[in-house]
């Protein structure tokens, strides 16, 4: 059995920007009894707190949980409380260049929505994230905007042409994540390997975007065994199966 089970967040453990439900939190807590667990996403630390951590009992099991915001450019571990192990943030000049380029691409492609729910561009320190309808957009509206990733693929093509020194990944339902070069979920996976001293072959990654261009695909490219899920409901079945297998052993 695998020593470490790594999960994507939005679309895998919970709906976009939503909290895990009671059943999911119970399954994660049970999984922590039999294996180490990590959650890696393009989201910022407050998103993990809101969506996952406030729904888990704050006890010793959390020492087996690793949290990697912004695709692993930040790393949090638990010892009576959550502590940041490191953060690899952009410089002010890098942030300005990325934000200006995002504005240029959105205008060039005419992707300005008739309504924004919150800010479209979020500075997450080590990652700049563009959310087409705003950070607080309703899930149903977000699902309709780019269901086949086509719009964001166009954005990615233009962004890579204009700022090739950065990495561009597609996340969530309306998001484009920009990080330092080489930063994706494969980077986070390798950080887990180095910090936890767990080989890649002893990890399992679970995500909803394990396809070329999807922001979970780098985990597969890194050589980790992967399970692609449709939604959090399927993730629940995967977790329950993993727990059952450990119980049998």
Instruction: Kindly report, residue by residue over 214-242, the tens digit of the pLDDT.
Output: 889 999 999 999 999 999 999 999 999 99
Instruction: Kindly report, residue by residue over 168-191, the tens digit of the pLDDT.
Output: 988 778 999 898 888 889 999 999
240's enclosing H/E stretch is helix 232-248
Q: Any alpha helices (H) in the chain, and if so which ranges?
A: 22-34, 45-51, 92-109, 139-145, 150-162, 185-196, 217-221, 232-248
Angle in degrees, 0-180, between the axes of helices 232-248 and 22-34, rounded to the nearest 10 = 30
CATH architecture classification, 92-179: 2-Layer Sandwich (3.30)
Contacts (Cβ under 8 Å, ≥6 apart) of 82: 53, 67, 76
Contact assessment for residue 39 and residue 189, using Cβ atoms and an 8 Å cutoff: no
For the chain, the domains span 4-88+183-248, 92-179
CA end-to-end span of the chain, whole Å?
Answer: 9
If one compares 68 and 88, the residue with the highest pLDDT of the two is: 68
Which tokens go with 53?
Answer: 């951590």
**What pLDDT shows up at residue 213?**
76
Please give the backbone phi and psi of residue 68, each rounded to the nearest 5 degrees, phi first: -125, 90
Instruction: Kindly report, residue by residue over 187-210, the tens digit of the pLDDT.
Output: 999 999 999 999 999 999 999 989
* Average pLDDT of every residue of the chain: 94
Examine the pLDDT at 248 and tell me if it is beyond 90: no
The single residue listed with the structure tokens 């890194």 is: 222
The single residue listed with the structure tokens 């052993």 is: 249
**What pLDDT shows up at residue 134?**
95
Cα distance between residue 220 and residue 101, in whole Å: 29
28's enclosing H/E stretch is helix 22-34
Please give the backbone phi and psi of residue 9, each rounded to the nearest 5 degrees, phi first: -105, -80
Which tokens go with 6?
Answer: 């790594």
Cα distance between residue 57 and residue 62, in whole Å: 8
How large is the average pLDDT for residues 48-66? Answer: 97
**Helices (H) and strands (E) in the chain — how many of each?**
8, 11
How large is the average pLDDT for residues 65-93? Answer: 94
Domain 4-88+183-248 has CATH 3.40.50.150: no
pTM of the model: 0.82
If one compares 65 and 43, the residue with the highest pLDDT of the two is: 65
Question: Exposure pattern of 165-199 as b/e (b: 16+ CB <10 Å)?
Answer: ebbbbbbbbbbbbbbbeebbbbbbbebbbeebebe
Examine the pLDDT at 249 and tell me if it is beyond 70: no
**What pLDDT shows up at residue 223?**
95
Contact assessment for residue 103 and residue 130, using Cβ atoms and an 8 Å cutoff: no
Cα distance between residue 107 and residue 120, in whole Å: 13
Instruction: Kindly report, residue by residue over 115-158, the tens digit of the pLDDT.
Output: 999 999 999 998 999 999 999 999 899 999 999 989 999 999 99
Q: Do domains 4-88+183-248 and 92-179 have the same CATH topology?
A: no
């Amino acid at each position: 059995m695998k020593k470490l089970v790594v999960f994507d967040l939005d679309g895998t453990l919970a709906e976009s920007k939503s909290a895990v439900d009671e059943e999911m939190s119970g399954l994660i807590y049970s999984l922590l009894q039999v294996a180490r667990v990590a959650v890696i996403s393009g989201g910022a630390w407050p998103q993990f707190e809101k969506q996952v951590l406030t729904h888990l009992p704050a006890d010793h099991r959390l020492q087996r949980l690793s949290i990697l915001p912004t695709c692993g450019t930040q790393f949090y571990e638990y010892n009576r409380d959550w502590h940041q192990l490191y953060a690899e943030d952009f410089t002010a000049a890098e942030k300005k260049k990325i934000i200006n380029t995002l504005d240029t691409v959105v205008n060039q492609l005419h992707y300005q929505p008739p309504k924004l729910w919150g800010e479209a561009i979020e500075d997450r320190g080590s990652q700049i994230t563009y959310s087409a309808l705003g950070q607080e957009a309703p899930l149903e509206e977000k699902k309709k905007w780019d269901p086949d990733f086509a719009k964001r693929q166009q954005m990615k093509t233009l962004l890579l042409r204009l700022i090739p020194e950065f990495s561009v990944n597609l996340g969530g339902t309306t998001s484009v994540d920009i990080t330092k070069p080489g930063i994706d979920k494969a980077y986070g996976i390798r950080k887990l390997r180095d910090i936890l001293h767990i080989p890649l072959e002893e990890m399992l990654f679970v995500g909803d975007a394990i396809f070329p261009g999807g922001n979970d695909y780098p985990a597969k490219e890194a050589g980790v065994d992967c399970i692609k899920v449709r939604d959090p409901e399927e993730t629940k079945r995967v977790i329950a199966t993993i727990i059952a297998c450990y119980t049998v052993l």
